[in-house]
Structure 1
Amino acid sequence: MGDNGNDTKRRSAARCSNCGAIGIVQIWPDGRIQPLGQDQLCRCDDGELHVLEGSDRP
């Protein structure tokens, strides 16, 4: 299998639209963005995570 077992998700940097916190996220095929290794990227209840352009990695 090697490293190809994670072909369905990608990693990228993302920023919270509310507080500006930046962190690494996984992007799922359905478009869902999930912080890597944690439940939340920040403590904002109403912020959205936006993938930073050019940071997308397979």
Structure 2
Amino acid sequence: MADNDEKQRAAARCEQCGEIGIVERQSNGTLKPLGQPTLCDCPDGTLRILETDPGSDDLP
């Protein structure tokens, strides 16, 4: 059973430069790049989750 404080991984894209990477989606909605301090070099890049399907863990 999933805990409400559980962190989730997702693919995200910087809306400013288009860089794509894996982020950790924290329970408070914060997106934090995995394995690096930032996803890209943009000073104010906004990260957006690319796609989510909470009912499926299967790859296409």
State TM-score, norm by structure 2.
Answer: 0.76
Q: Distance in 2 between matches of 1:11 and 1:54?
A: 10
Equivalent in the alignment of 1:27: 25
Aligned residue pair count? 52
Identity %: 50
By relative contact order (CA 8 Å, sep 6+), the higher-ranking structure is 1
Q: Is the helix fraction higher in 1 or 2? A: 1
Question: SS in structure 2 opposite 1:23?
Answer: strand
Q: Where do 4+ consecutive residues of structure 1 move more than 4 Å? A: none
Q: Any unmatched runs of 5+ in structure 2?
A: none
The amino acid across from 1:24 in the alignment is: I
The amino acid across from 1:53 in the alignment is: E
Q: Any unmatched runs of 5+ in structure 1?
A: none
After superposition, the CA RMSD in angstroms is: 2.0
State TM-score, norm by structure 1.
Answer: 0.79
Shift of 1:47: 1.1
